[in-house]
Amino acid sequence: MKDLLKAIDPALPGEIEEMKKRRTISVMLTRMRIKAGMTQADMARAMGCTQSRISKLEMSENDKITLWDIMRYGQITGQSTVHGNPETDRRVVIELAFA
């Protein structure tokens, strides 16, 4: 696949990797919700917002997601830590703080 992308545009594989890095937190939030067996509508009801807000949050880049959003997802889904690993959680918080 990378070869095909390079044939289209040599910079494309690198740009895709950068995009993935910028969305690590939104992907994590989506996984937390799914692991809890919740739909976006379920999460919206629990957070007191619209399903559209949840969709936007789960498609956001890291710097658009607040620590509050991460904490709420953890509380609502019953997952006490973001990755289940305190060291990883610490890195996420630091990344958000300096974004």
Q: Is the pTM above the cut of 0.85?
A: no
Rounded-to-integer distance, Cα 61 and Cα 64, Å: 6
Pairwise pLDDT comparison (38 vs 24), residue with the higher score: 38
Per-residue pLDDT reduced to its tens digit, 27-53: 888 988 999 999 999 999 999 999 999
Rounded-to-integer distance, Cα 31 and Cα 19, Å: 18
Q: Provide mean pLDDT across the span 1-6.
A: 66
- Spatial contact of 97 and 89, defined as CB atoms under 8 Å apart: no
Q: Provide mean pLDDT across the span 77-84.
A: 66
DSSP string, 26-92: HHHHHHHHHHTT--HHHHHHHHTS-HHHHHHHHT--GGGS-HHHHHHHHHHHT-SSSSS-HHHHHHH
Handedness of CA 14, 15, 16, 22 (dihedral sign): positive
